[in-house]
Structure 1
Amino acid sequence: MKIAEVDTPETVRSSEAVAEFVNTTKAFGEVRAANNLNLRIKRGEFLSFLGPSGCGKTTALRMLAGFESPTSGEVLLDGQAVGARPAHKRPVNMVFQHYALFPHMTVAQNVGYGLRQRRPKMAKAEIAAKVEKALATVRLQEFGPRRIWEMSGGQQQRVALARAIVNEPKILLLDEPMAALDAKLRGEMQSELLSLQRQLGITFVLVTHDQEEAMAMSDRICLMGQGRIAQIGTPEDLYDRPANRYVADFIGKANILPATITDRADGMARAVLANGAQVVLRDRAGDTQATPEVAIRPEALMLMGSDDQPGPGDTVLPGRVTHRTFLGDMTEYLLQTEALGVLQVNVPRQAARAMHGAGTGETARLLWAKGAGLVLGPMA
């Protein structure tokens, strides 16, 4: 898998970095759970480690937290190597997937637990004031006397957040914190977490397998695969400029096709598809490949009406509708095409109405507009 837009050891040491991975590897026997990570986490940003199970994202988080030590390379906090520093002496706190709250304690006792452990000489009045402030931050200021089992799932998550921020960490680590919530509550908590991060101004690092969650909340996403960093960038970067098939396929949906590049210049390329059609598209790869692939998002392809005509540089692909699925704000079409297989096209609701909706079994024309789509880089 090709590593794209990854910080190198020469560039990671920066005053704006609150945490850094420098050539960091973590091996469990013969398995490299994290393989040569180089990443600068910026002060005050919301960064997500995204990827499927076993990709290395949780291992990276645990090395930041101090629950795992690197096999080689370094983990730095504020420019200082912390590989040998235990978790309780790092300026980070972690919110676990199942919150790890103490059921025999009240909400206030749970929130103050970390303060009592880390600062045993702190006065009770000061602890109470900090607990009250943390609970107010997560809008639970009146819930201090309650027991954990009296709280809903969303309220328990807020208690876990209050317990994590009461120590005023420089980095808050979030390990799949919304996995146990239903879809509606998950959406609400995403907004609350983002508002909380902006309010506190501290660095949030989230681990998730949910691409929509990462896209909605992150300033940057670090997409992981097989222990490596596949690509780092803003959600827009990863969606609009995926480095290779893995990124294009994981982030959103994409039609990925083999092609032959015949010309490339000024960030654009001309490619010949398997059916002989020529398309003009953006050139993400920028180098010659023996068997390149091109990708186009379903919303970038357009179904043409009977009176529509292609413009200069546009390409028309004939096909037959095999499936039509109404999804509310859009209609999803699957079209069988000659030599290219099945292509997915997402048509906005108003456009579908204007076309009177191509039906299953009908022939249709697809418009691949000039500049739509992208040449993908190779998988390493």
Structure 2
Amino acid sequence: MTEQHATAPGAPSDSVTSADAVAEFVNASKRFGSVLAADRINLRIRRGEFLSFLGPSGCGKTTALRMLAGFESPSDGEVMIDGQAASNTPAHRRPVNMVFQHYALFPHMTVAQNVGYGLRQRRPRLPKSEIAAKVAKALAKVRLDDFGPRRIWEMSGGQQQRVALARAIVNEPKILLLDEPMAALDAKLRGEMQRELLDLQRSLGITFVLVTHDQEEALSMSDRICIMGKGRIAQVGTPQDLYDRPANRYVADFVGKANILTGMLLSQQDGLAQVALADGTRVLVRAEASAVPGPVDLAVRPEVLNLARPDAPLPEGSRALAARITHRTFLGDHTEYLLQADAIGALQVNVPRQAERAMGGHDVGTIVHVHWATGSGLVLAAQD
């Protein structure tokens, strides 16, 4: 899949064709009084993909999901499902089901009754035997085969989430919407449920659309991620695209951790730009062809930086600057160093455990050289 960078509001934000799309936002905006919650969203959602809307609170991601579900109608623009305008189609008539953050299960019903609730509302009515068969199939999909007679209050949080998933898939929707469904789970169970959810999506082959503010969740599960900010799409792309080639400072700062440095772009050739940092250090970093000489922001990921004692030789082609260690945090598989560099400011460097052992570690207060190889940073595009 190709990376998609942000464009001017109203312009298409991805290259998925209409034929490939199961749903599409066309210049879709949503206002709540004077608040513009979604601003001219243009996005095609590929049939069968796992797409995540990612962003902080108030960025517009939940509003986009609710417009797709039919709980909100665009103030302007259109939402398309299977090539047909859907903005005037009520939620219960769309081929879409939703799993809510708090599951919205009926406590007075059994697991099987909860899962079969939507089927019992169909008109004309389905035979009881057909409903029972569909419920059993859905429960098997989420590995709750023998739990049909149980009450909801007898189920753990993870099991309740599976019940909510079974209730959503039993109607065989074309799109399954997930509104931060794992927010209430503890960290270990959340990781397990992420894997199960991904396996379920692959086995069903239907489109999953997730809303989350958890970047790790989005990175680990998604085919593509739509980064939202201030009601607009900031960038759409694969997890690796967004991490390695963020479109701007907002995306670089939100997806993963990044050192954002300022400098002066002096020249560029063959995808590499020579940038002078604030302390005069010159580095070679990646840059798009559109980058022009002048002030720029750089994104440098903490894991591409290395630490060395001032008297240690540097690898050929590396650039280094002096910094003082202010904090050292052991995190199991790596150690996180926070440093302060004259004229540059704060830096973060993540050192893998094996490399930490080899070099013996560094103490707080120590002056070290921070260095990185040619092309390890990226010149960021200017933001609107």
Q: Percent of aligned positions with the same letter in both sequences? A: 69
Shift of residue 379, structure 1, vs aligned partner: 1.2
> Equivalent residue for 1:372?
376
Q: C-alpha distance in 2, partners of 1:237/1:64?
A: 25
Give the alignment partner of residue 197 of structure 1, picking from 175, 196, 201.
201
* Secondary structure of the corresponding residue to residue 292 of structure 1: strand
Q: Conserved in 2, the CA contact under 8 Å of 1:3 and 1:228?
A: no
Give the direction of change, closer, same or farther, for the CA distance of 1:81–1:56 in structure 2 (3 Å limit). Answer: same
Of stretches 93-102 and 330-339 in structure 1, the one that deviates more from structure 2 is 330-339
Give the direction of change, closer, same or farther, for the CA distance of 1:60–1:379 in structure 2 (3 Å limit). Answer: same
* Secondary structure of the corresponding residue to residue 286 of structure 1: coil
* Secondary structure of the corresponding residue to residue 164 of structure 2: helix
Q: Conserved in 2, the CA contact under 8 Å of 1:44 and 1:201?
A: yes
Give the direction of change, closer, same or farther, for the CA distance of 1:264–1:182 in structure 2 (3 Å limit). Answer: same
Post-superposition Cα deviations, 1:122-161, rounded to whole Å, max 9, x if no partner, equal: 1111111101100111111111111111111111100000
Q: Say whether 1:3 aligns with 2:6.
A: yes
Post-superposition Cα deviations, 1:168-227, rounded to whole Å, max 9, x if no partner, equal: 000000001001111111111000000000000000000001001001100110010000
Q: Conserved in 1, the CA contact under 8 Å of 2:51 and 2:225?
A: yes
Tell me the amino acid that sits aligned with residue 38 of structure 2.
Answer: A
| Unpaired stretches in structure 1, ≥5 consecutive residues | none
> Equivalent residue for 1:55?
59
Tell me the amino acid that sits aligned with residue 189 of structure 2.
Answer: L
Q: C-alpha distance in 2, partners of 1:138/1:271?
A: 53
Give the alignment partner of residue 251 of structure 1, picking from 245, 248, 255.
255
The TM-score normalised by the length of structure 1 is 0.96
Give the direction of change, closer, same or farther, for the CA distance of 1:331–1:285 in structure 2 (3 Å limit). Answer: farther
Q: C-alpha distance in 1, partners of 2:210/2:8?
A: 20
Q: Say whether 1:308 aligns with 2:313.
A: yes
Q: C-alpha distance in 2, partners of 1:236/1:248?
A: 12
Q: C-alpha distance in 1, partners of 2:331/2:174?
A: 42
Question: Structure 2 matches for 1:92-131, cutoff 5 A?
Answer: 92-131=96-135
Shift of residue 308, structure 1, vs aligned partner: 2.8
> Equivalent residue for 2:31?
27
Give the alignment partner of residue 359 of structure 1, picking from 352, 360, 363.
363
> Equivalent residue for 2:297?
293
Q: Conserved in 1, the CA contact under 8 Å of 2:16 and 2:46?
A: no
Of stretches 243-252 and 287-296 in structure 1, the one that deviates more from structure 2 is 287-296
Question: Structure 2 matches for 1:1-380, cutoff 5 A?
Answer: 3-4=6-7, 8=12, 14-284=18-288, 286-288=290-292, 290-305=294-309, 306-312=311-317, 314-380=318-384
Shift of residue 266, structure 1, vs aligned partner: 2.4
Q: C-alpha distance in 1, partners of 2:254/2:382?
A: 15
Give the direction of change, closer, same or farther, for the CA distance of 1:19–1:335 in structure 2 (3 Å limit). Answer: same
* Secondary structure of the corresponding residue to residue 291 of structure 1: strand
Q: Conserved in 2, the CA contact under 8 Å of 1:9 and 1:23?
A: no
The TM-score normalised by the length of structure 2 is 0.95
Q: C-alpha distance in 2, partners of 1:275/1:95?
A: 51
Q: C-alpha distance in 1, partners of 2:342/2:112?
A: 65
Q: Conserved in 2, the CA contact under 8 Å of 1:243 and 1:377?
A: yes
| Unpaired stretches in structure 2, ≥5 consecutive residues | none
Shift of residue 12, structure 1, vs aligned partner: 5.7
Post-superposition Cα deviations, 1:324-374, rounded to whole Å, max 9, x if no partner, equal: 111111111112211101211111111111111111111111112111100
